Amino acid sequence: MEEKIIEIANEKLYYSKLDNGLEVYMIPNNNVKNVYATFTTKYGSIHDEFVPINSNKMISVPKGIAHFLEHKMFEQEDGINPFEFFSKSGTNANAHTALKNTTYEFMGPNNFIENINYLLDYVQELYITDDSVEKEKGIIEQELKMYMDDPFWSMYDGIRNNIFSQNPTKYPIGGTVESIYKITKEDLEKCYNTFYNPANMFVVITGNFDPNITLNEIKENQEKKNFKPMEKVKIKEYKENDKVVKDYMEIEKNIDINKFSYGIKINLSKLGNISEKKKRLYISIIFDTLFGITSEFYEQMTEKNYLSSPLGIDKIYTDTHALITLIGETNFPKELFAEINALLKNLNIEETDLERSKKILHSINIKMFDNIEDLNDTIISNVINYGTFDENFIKLSNELNMDELKKILKKLDVSNKAIFLVKPFENNL
Amino acid sequence: MEYIKKEYAAYNIHVIKTDVFKTVTLEINFLRKIKKEEITTRNFLSEILVQSSKNYPSKRLLALKSNDLYNANISTQNSRIGNFSDLSFSLQFLNEKYTEIGMQKKSIEFFFDTIFNPNVKDNNFDLKSFNIVKEAIKTEIKSVKDNMTKYALIKMLEKMGKDEPYTYIGFGYLEDLEKITTENLYEYYKDILRSDKVDIFVVGDVDVEEIVSLVNNNLKINTVKKELGNPVIEHDKIRSRLSKVSEWENIIQSKLNIGCKLKNLSEFERKYVLLVYNEILGGSSESKLFKNVREKNSLVYYVNSALKIYDNLLMIYCGLNKKDSDKALNIIKKEMTNMKKGNILDEEIKVAKEGIITSLNTITDSPARIISLYFSKELTSGDDINKRIEMVNKVTKEDIISLASKIKIDTVYLMYGEDN
């Protein structure tokens, strides 16, 4: 097991890769009482065209299948479901599906060794029948319908759909009511067998536990199981154009104030050959500085009454492109969009902006250790996005400099944009 | 963890000294009896104080200063606690071990300066800030439908009473917003400093004497406060027959809500038996409602019961297809009857208690939860964690059965769209 000091925060990271390929990341904090453990497969909603294990033919499965599978993992052969098992020790259990990963988790201060074994066991065993698959469809239908009434959710889905042409980031994570009714037991099994192999998964534990005892438990647990050794799953590659699919669209919902998202599609390969991680940090700094709460832009927009609260600035990354989305509410959409267009024609960041941003990054990176969930989430997102998490992540922000930032600014092409507007129904006004 | 309370005529300082966190959290609460017509004003006031200050006369300048202090974050919140209205401001900053010496003093001075040195001239709040905040509050009031689950609950609560505080809408009211001026808002601000009960909480690895003197030096409040009384709302009248209301909205998923009133509960029942009851009925994924409405019948994705302890209310809510609403209602009623009849497994009680006790045990992991624990002690002389755990353990099946008969369905509220 590797043991690394995280300087500045004065914490320790433990890392190990087991023989079957499973990776384990641990940061103990014995000041708190709780433990938070997550078990993640690098498999999310975007992985719907791939070559299944034991096959050499690329297949395509219905949209929303990763999320459907997450639901079905909570059914077990012995009839005791994971919620039931965990609740006996007062432990909370949950799971969620994202674009690039599916994560199973528990949090609780009791029964940790049994809990971590159980987490591994239930996720590494699929038990489904045709009946149980059918039964789940009504539940997921209601989950999707709940999201459909949420104007912000509709907007997140809408903007991705209009920005991307080929990349499956385009589609809703949970699929559609229509697509989920097409999902069969066989589809689910194919996806499960391919993506739930330990070589495609990792465990992250934060909170109050002993890393040595825990790693031994995980090792023993894995040694008892037989998994087929696996190469990296072959996933379909997409040629994604820099152009957006549709640059303007509006829909109507049961709301009283316009909500908008203004998406900018950026080709990452054109930003030079600095690390992906740094690229993303610079992109964040640039857009937060230009449009965030400390920007002159925001101040002017509030004075003109185009905005009354800060913009949300959302960032999504695919292998090839970034999607930066400005999200907000406004009574003057046309005027506001013109102002954003104008600002994007003149991108400028000062040295003081960069220094301020570094202070914020420092603060966020340290504060995170006070919350075992935030810390765990950060590790997961690093592993998913950059392949690993290491002890130098805090130091990285100190390396940021004006020279690199200026180079990025010069190369940054912000001309590919799309707007998605949600308006009140005509008769609501 | 060490708790120190300093009582002064005008306010109390509560310091919770602990080395668990790398941050220091400070919160100031202004508390008074709630009045419907003051809700919008209070929301306005809390927002305008963090919109600008005398020394940092715009949101941008305030934010720049906060970034400069290593992201010392100021936030504000208005909430209702039964009969009371709580206006709070909180500050969170890195312990200066992780930044620079002197940052603690600077951050705390910045925080109090923001609240006590407002952007006011000739007894009027700055008009520019006023107009921005007015627009923001208007937007917030109008955004009530953004979350249909919450909106349907608000509509149900409105049907459950006439002028009781639980019928009030926390976002405020457009007609009240129009009455607010830069001048009467400043009057209200002064009134709050004069009359509200004030409590300050500090959580972190701090020097107690140093922090207390920092707070005392920066807190400009000096009027003697009266006791507020009891925040808990008691119901005079209970409907003998439940009321059914259906309303149409242009939505995809229909919402079925059931509002229940609780009457004549003992302190023990309200604080402890009720927690166990709620957990078993619909408080978790092991609950009777989750198992029967979702898992067995696939009618919903979410179905929960939730308590409003200070309001003596219990609410059940779920989202479904309209055509399934009668079926779901019957299942929910049947499970409530099962609670009354004592069709409860010992295992269900055990699991419910385990969940509640775990949650109590981990309060000390979070600064926000620590503050809310001590705040509730301040309000209702509530029990400490160990006592709470002891009381939860004491709850018996008989306690749950006898409580169940005091829970009366008042309103069944259906907000429906078109199934397709």
β-sheet bridge partners, residue B313: B261, B308
- Looking at CA atoms only, how far is residue B364 from chain A in angstroms? 7
CB contact under 8 A, A360 and B146: no
Residues in B 3-62 with any Cβ partner in A closer than 8 A: 19-23, 58-60
Residues A195 and A279 in one domain: no
Residues A320 and A180 in one domain: no
Tokens representing A17?
């890769």
Nearest to B234 by CA among B315, B313, B167: B313
Q: Is the pTM of this model over 0.90?
A: yes
- Looking at CA atoms only, how far is residue B195 from chain A in angstroms? 30
Q: Which of A189, A223, A257 is the last residue of a domain?
A: A223
Q: What are phi and psi of B262, to 5 degrees?
A: -115, 130
Residue B277 has pLDDT above 90, yes or no: yes
Residues A217 and A319 in one domain: no
Q: How far apart are CA A167 and CA A171, in angstroms?
A: 9
Assess: ipTM above 0.90.
Answer: yes
- The CATH number of whichever domain residue A52 belongs to comes to 3.30.830.10
- Looking at CA atoms only, how far is residue A339 from chain B in angstroms? 18
Mean pLDDT across chain B:
96
| Cβ-Cβ contacts under 8 Å for B413 (sequence gap 6 or more) | B152, B155, B156, B159, B245, B246, B247, B255, B256, B257, B258, B259
Residue B141 has a pLDDT of 97
Residues A217 and A257 in one domain: no
Average pLDDT of the segment spanning A1-10: 93
End-to-end, the C-alpha distance of chain B in Å comes to 56
Q: Is B284 in the A-facing interface, judged by CB distances under 8 Å?
A: yes
B298: left (phi > 0), else alpha (psi -120 to 50), else beta? left
DSSP class of residue A168?
G
CA distances from B208 to B5, B13, B29, B95 (A): 10, 10, 20, 14
CB contact under 8 A, B361 and A33: yes
β-sheet bridge partners, residue B407: B262
Task: Tell me the residue range of the domain where A367 lies.
Answer: 248-428
Residues A29 and A102 in one domain: yes
Average pLDDT of the segment spanning B395-410: 97
Domains B2-218 and B243-416 in one fold: yes
Q: How far apart are CA B326 and CA B329, in angstroms?
A: 5
- Asked if A293 and B63 count as a contact pair (C-beta separation under 8 A), the reply is yes
Query: Which residues in A lie closer than 8 A to residue B144 (C-beta atoms)?
Result: 256
B381: left (phi > 0), else alpha (psi -120 to 50), else beta? left
Tokens representing B71?
């992201």
Task: Report yes or no on A233 lying in a domain.
Answer: no
Q: What are phi and psi of A140, to 5 degrees?
A: -70, -35
Verify whether residue A237 is a known catalytic residue. Answer: no
Average pLDDT of the segment spanning B16-43: 97
Residues A201 and A292 in one domain: no
CB contact under 8 A, A139 and B294: yes
Q: How far apart are CA B193 and CA B189, in angstroms?
A: 7
Task: Report yes or no on A132 lying in a domain.
Answer: yes
Q: Indicate the fold that domain B2-218 takes in CATH.
A: Cytochrome Bc1 Complex; Chain A, domain 1 (3.30.830)
Average pLDDT of the segment spanning B158-163: 94
Average pLDDT of the segment spanning A392-396: 87
Q: Indicate the fold that domain B243-416 takes in CATH.
A: Cytochrome Bc1 Complex; Chain A, domain 1 (3.30.830)
pLDDT class for A91, splitting at 50, 70, 90?
Answer: very high
Residue A428 has a pLDDT of 53
Tokens representing A200?
């495609």
Task: Report yes or no on A240 lying in a domain.
Answer: no
What dihedral angle (degrees, nearest 10) is formed by the CA atoms of B291, B297, B299, B305? Answer: -20
Nearest to A366 among B22, B136, B139 (CB): B22
Residues A213 and A346 in one domain: no
Give the domain ranges of chain B: 2-218, 243-416
Average pLDDT of the segment spanning A375-387: 96
Tell me the residue ranges of DSSP E strands in B289-394: 303-308, 313-320
- Asked if A310 and A159 count as a contact pair (C-beta separation under 8 A), the reply is no
Residues A276 and A315 in one domain: yes
Task: Report yes or no on A161 lying in a domain.
Answer: yes
- Looking at CA atoms only, how far is residue B258 from chain A in angstroms? 18
CB contact under 8 A, B98 and A366: yes
CB contact under 8 A, A356 and B67: yes
Residues A269 and A205 in one domain: no
DSSP class of residue A81?
-
Domain count, chain A: 2
Residue B420 has a pLDDT of 66
Mean pLDDT across chain A:
95
Residues A168 and A267 in one domain: no
Residues in B 109-138 with any Cβ partner in A closer than 8 A: 128, 131-133, 135-136, 138
| Cβ-Cβ contacts under 8 Å for A278 (sequence gap 6 or more) | A396, A399, A400, A404
CB contact under 8 A, A143 and B128: no
Nearest to B355 among A33, A87, A295 (CB): A87
B/e letters for B207-226, b = 16+ CB within 10 Å, e = fewer, are eeeebbebbeebbebeeebe
Residues in B 393-412 with any Cβ partner in A closer than 8 A: none
Average pLDDT of the segment spanning A20-44: 97
Q: What are phi and psi of A178, to 5 degrees?
A: -65, -45
User: Helix, strand or coil for residue B201?
Assistant: strand
Residues A313 and A387 in one domain: yes
| Cβ-Cβ contacts under 8 Å for B37 (sequence gap 6 or more) | B176
Give me the half-sphere count of Cα atoms (radius 13 Å) on the Cβ side of residue A415.
4
- Asked if B307 and B259 count as a contact pair (C-beta separation under 8 A), the reply is no
Residue A20 has a pLDDT of 95
How many CB atoms neighbour CB A243 within 10 A? Answer: 12
CB contact under 8 A, B301 and A140: yes
